[in-house]
Amino acid sequence: MTQQQASDLEAADRAGAPEAKPEPIRNTDTKVGRNEPCPCGSGKKYKACHGRR
């Protein structure tokens, strides 16, 4: 970062520039139930395929 950029940032901080709040990441995928078919397409139930931990 150059001196000019640093001084610009400091001036913006002193001027009361609002800070951007980070937005939480929302999971938009639907949850798969344990007894539903696995979304990988194997034909097995989710709990017997990818549902194991």
Give pLDDT tens digits for 7-45: 888 877 766 656 778 899 988 888 899 999 999 999 999
Helix (H, G, I), strand (E, B) or coil at 37: strand
* pLDDT score, position 47: 93
Rounded to whole angstroms, the Cα distance separating 46 from 34 reads: 5
* pLDDT score, position 11: 79
